A = this chain, B = another copy of it.
Amino acid sequence: MANEYTIQQASKMTQVSAHTLRYYEREGLLNVARTSSGHRRYTDDDIGWIRFIMLLKSTNMPLAEIAQFVTLEKDGHRTIEKRRTMLEDHRETLTAHIAQLQNYMKALDEKIVYYSEVNDVLLDCVTNTPESNGVASCDDNYLP
């Protein structure tokens, strides 16, 4: 239960490259124990924390903010309230972001419908001889 992993093993377990793991440590997102010779040894807690970092990252939290979270963590349980608040704020941001994406999705759908319709019109143009039809849309290049 007190497992330790090299950077390569940690990399495999978390799908984060060793390069990036070192980078995260330099940026203060991670604080990994070392052997006497200076090699990193990741614990299960570290692995869990890296997975959490990936979760925050995937939901658009910037590294700097994640680093701030870590700073709070170093100050122990006095900061738990603050950290929960950070997570809740982040949750709000994410909710808003998802809602906005769903709106964009609607707009995108409308564009797609529009393209389908224009395509139908143009198929008509092709079916008839080019000269035999003077519909403006057959010559239009622009599609908003």
Contact = CB atoms under 8 A, between A and B. Distances in A.
Interface of A: 45, 48-49, 52, 55, 58-59, 73-74, 76-77, 80-81, 83-84, 87-88, 90-91, 94-95, 97-98, 100-102, 104-105, 107-109, 111-112, 115-116, 118-119, 122, 125, 138, 140-144
B144 A59 contact: no
A85 to B, nearest CB: 9
Most B Cβ at <10 Å: residue of A48, A49, A55, A73: A55
Q: Looking at chain A's contact residues, is the secondary structure mostly helix, strand, loop, or mixed?
A: helix
Contacts of A101: 58-59, 94, 97-98, 101
A91 B74 contact: no
Contact of A55 (B74, B84, B107): B107
